[in-house]
A and B are shown apart, each in its own frame.
Chain A
Amino acid sequence: MDYVLHIMVIASIYVILAMSLNLIVGFTGLPALGHAAFYGIGAYTSALLALNFGASPWIGLIAGAITAGLLGFVISFPALRLKGDYLALATLGAGVIVYSIAKNWVAVTRGPMGLPGIPGFTFLGYPLDGVWAYLILVLAFVGLTTFVIGRIVNSPFGRILKAIREDEIGTQAMGRDVNYYKVMVFMIGAAFAGVAGSLYAHYITFIDPSSFTLMESITILLMVVFGGLGSLRGSMVGAVILVVLPELLRFLGMPSSIAAPLRQMIYGLLLVLLMIKRPQGLMGHYRFK
């Protein structure tokens, strides 16, 4: 039972990641390939505050959201000048640089040794030790993310985001400062990814750079594309399916030396087939331009 709950916690964390990336990629049309960097900086900020200063995970979560948001601010700059493949490459590069810092700045992050013993969340003084208690906590954040991002994309603000996705030049001609919206979208999307990182760090209690690689960014992007660009419900479905599906391999009794690459092979094949057969994903209407 705990195993099923555990998978649900992980799936929920990916739902937050996928929805926050969908805001950037799906609703605004900016191909960002460095989402794991925001996820990672949220996790590290929160974990380091707890380990070095004994800060409450709640403080860490807020701090993680803020540092991730600031990183989003920095990474949004390439988005002001670059488009398409080149933007994808620049954000990918930013992700690699952040990963590199986590791996090489050993004095702070302990590098590849990672950070063990991260304390868990507490609620009104009670530690959340059961997996079910964590699930409720994470689901509450899924609810918050859905509310905030849902409100944003269905507002006049969100309409401008979709206009940017359609035609940047046309949007500027309407008197809208495209750069402002791009920066905001990166900051908001990054902040939610930071929240996901903090939830992950305090749940697993150990983090190392290997959880925040480029492959992780591509996996999150795959969830978004699979569910459908510009569809929040799609991101939920996409994240849940892509987390649960590979777990089925484990039920077949495969050793992890086979299950791990097989899982990635499924992801890779799925990405290729999606692009050829259904680039708008399960629930989306919009395709990459």
Chain B
Amino acid sequence: MVQQLVANGIIAGSIYALIALGFALIYRTVKFFHFAHGVVYTVGAYLAYTFTITVGIDPLVSFFLAVILAGVMGLGIDRLVYYPLRRQKASDLIFLLASFGIFIFIQNLIQLLYGAQILTLRRGPIVEGHHVLGTIITNTQILILVTSILLSVALWLYVKHSKLGKSIRAVSDDPVAASIVGINPERVIGLSFFIGSMLAGAAGILISLETNLEPTMGFTAILKGIIAAIIGGIGSIPGAVFGGYFLGMAENLGIWKIQAGWKDAIAFGILILFLLVRPGGIMGIPTERERL
């Protein structure tokens, strides 16, 4: 029983980590909560559904297409909504509310187009999983785990070593200095939206291979992603991955003795605890700066 919960925690954590990763990458450059990240995840899944099931393209090709389009969509959200707000020097809360607006709009557009019912990307009968260390793990779950780890490591290496990755870090540390040395902050922000949104799209597709698609799926997902990012220390790449797995485990072990319906309450309980006790997250160092 416990082993199975741990395994479930790891799988859920893989998804949370991917969402948190994209969210954290975007947060690093723009410093506000991009809540609509959750609906990009939903769109990724629905695009994959449309390509494979409705149109009938080869799954791999269609997943690839869906991921790219999710990236483009994130970029579009930034250009259409956030860019004008940035030019007005709007406050973080205005960004957050606008982000809610985008989320609500697109989620309901999906519901209008596809209906509120549950859809599935799975084809053929459900195959029984492998028995590993007293747990049952399906091939899909292995795929989720491996993809999540590979993408996390790739992103980490990219941000750490590539030229563009370094410019992301430069912009997040000091946008003014970055623009003085010739880095165009808008380009870097666009890039982080593109990459971050591709990660969200990938997460959406992976989860719909494992469970189902429904228009509201992005809502819980982004909440968990944000919680994971905050637990890990907001804006930190390794922190987001760690936070994702931590949250996945905590939720699943938390329902060991109580009903599964309490998962969300547990996640938010952890969030509020972190916000109050250790707002810098596990990886972040809480500092008392001069406030005056």
Contacts and interface: CB of A to CB of B under 8 A. Distances in A.
- The reply, when asked whether chain A contacts chain B directly with Cβ atoms under 8 A, is yes
Interface string A55-93: 000000000000000000000011001101110111001
Nearest to B275: A90
Interface stretch (B17-25, B103-111, B135-143, B242-250): B103-111
Contacts of A249: none
Contacts of A269: 101, 105
B269 A97 contact: yes
Given A271-B98, A276-B98, A257 B105 contact: no
B242 to A, nearest CB: 19
Interface stretch (A40-48, A190-198, A260-268): A260-268
B265 A272 contact: no
Interface residues of B, number: 47
A270 B112 contact: no
Given A97-B269, A268-B101, A271-B98, A88 B93 contact: yes
A265 B271 contact: no
Contact of A287 (B33, B91, B92, B116): B91
B65 interface: no
A94 B273 CA distance: 11
Contacts of A244: none
Given A85-B32, A275-B90, A103 B261 contact: yes
A86 B272 CA distance: 10
A264 B108 contact: yes
Interface string A272-289: 111110010000000111
A93 B271 contact: yes
B268 A218 contact: no
A258 B272 contact: no
A288 B291 CA distance: 19
A265 B110 CA distance: 10
Interface in B242-269: 259, 261-262, 264-265, 268-269
Interface string B55-84: 000000000000000000000000001001
A262 B264 contact: no
Nearest to B277: A81
Contact size range, A: 35 or more
Among the interface residues B88, B92, B106, B223, which one has the most CB atoms of the partner chain A within 10 A? B92
Nearest to B258: A104
A215 interface: yes
B16 to A, nearest CB: 16
A268 B102 contact: yes
Contacts of B85: 275-276
Contact of B262 (A82, A104, A218): A104
A90 B271 contact: yes
B267 to A, nearest CB: 8
A265 B81 contact: no
B94 interface: yes
A26 B103 CA distance: 23
Interface string A132-165: 0000000000000000000000000000000000
Contact of A100 (B88, B91, B111, B261): B261
B108 A265 contact: yes
Interface in B171-200: none
B96 interface: yes
Given A78-B272, A261-B111, A96 B104 contact: no
Contacts of B104: 215, 218, 264-265, 267-268, 271
A225 interface: yes
Contact of B97 (A77, A100, A275, A289): A275
Among the interface residues B81, B104, B226, which one has the most CB atoms of the partner chain A within 10 A? B104
B51 interface: no
A94 B268 contact: yes
Contacts of A96: 223, 264-265, 268
B276 interface: yes
A276 B81 contact: yes
Contacts of A270: 101
A73 to B, nearest CB: 15
Given A89-B271, A269-B105, A225 B97 contact: yes
Contacts of A51: none
A275 B271 contact: no
B97 A271 contact: yes
16 contacts: A81-B275, A82-B275, A88-B93, A96-B265, A100-B265, A214-B219, A221-B97, A264-B105, A268-B103, A268-B104, A268-B105, A269-B101, A271-B101, A272-B81, A276-B84, A288-B93
| Nearest 3 pairs of A and B residues by beta carbon | A271-B101, A268-B105, A268-B104
Given A94-B268, A268-B107, A275-B90, 20 more contacts: A31-B96, A77-B276, A78-B272, A84-B93, A89-B230, A89-B271, A89-B275, A96-B264, A101-B265, A103-B261, A104-B265, A215-B104, A267-B101, A269-B101, A271-B98, A271-B100, A272-B101, A276-B85, A279-B90, A288-B97
Interface of B: 32-33, 81, 84-85, 88, 90-98, 100-109, 111-112, 115-116, 219, 223, 226, 230, 259, 261-262, 264-265, 268-269, 271-272, 275-276, 279, 291-292
